[in-house]
Amino acid sequence: MTLPHDPSADAIELVTLADVQAAADRLRGVALRTPLLAFGPPPVRPDSGAPQAWLKAENLQPIGAFKIRGAYNALSQLSLVQRAAGVVSHSSGNHAQGVARSARLLGIRAVIVMPSDAPAIKVAGVRADGAEIDFVGPDNEERIARADELAERHGMALVPSFDDARIVAGQGTIGLEIVSQLREMGVADEEPLTVLVPIGGGGLSAGVCVAVKGLRPDATVIGVEPELAADAADSMRQGSIVRWGPELTGRTIADGMRTSALGRITFAHLRQLLDGVLAVSEDDIKVAMLEAATRARIVAEPSGATPIAAWLRHRAELPARGSLVMIVSGGNVDPDLYRHLLEEAATLA
| Residues designated as active site | 67, 329
* Amino acid at position 293, single letter: A
SS3 47: coil
User: Are 273 and 209 within 8 A, CB to CB?
Assistant: yes
Query: What span, in angstroms and rounded, lies between the C-alpha atoms of 332 and 156?
Result: 28
Strand ordering across the sheet containing 132-136: 132-136, 110-115, 87-90, 157-159
The residue among 130, 127, 124, 120 whose CA lies nearest residue 333 is 120
Provide the phi-psi class of 155: left if phi over 0, else alpha when psi is between -120 and 50, else beta: left
Long-range contacts of 129-132 (CB under 8 A, 24+ apart): 129/97, 129/100, 129/101, 129/103, 129/104, 130/100, 130/103, 130/104, 131/96, 131/99, 131/100, 131/103, 131/104
> What element of type H or E holds 326?
strand 323-328
Whether the CA torsion 243, 241, 100, 330 is positive or negative: it is positive
Q: Which residues pair with 112 in a beta bridge?
A: 89, 133
User: Are 327 and 204 within 8 A, CB to CB?
Assistant: yes
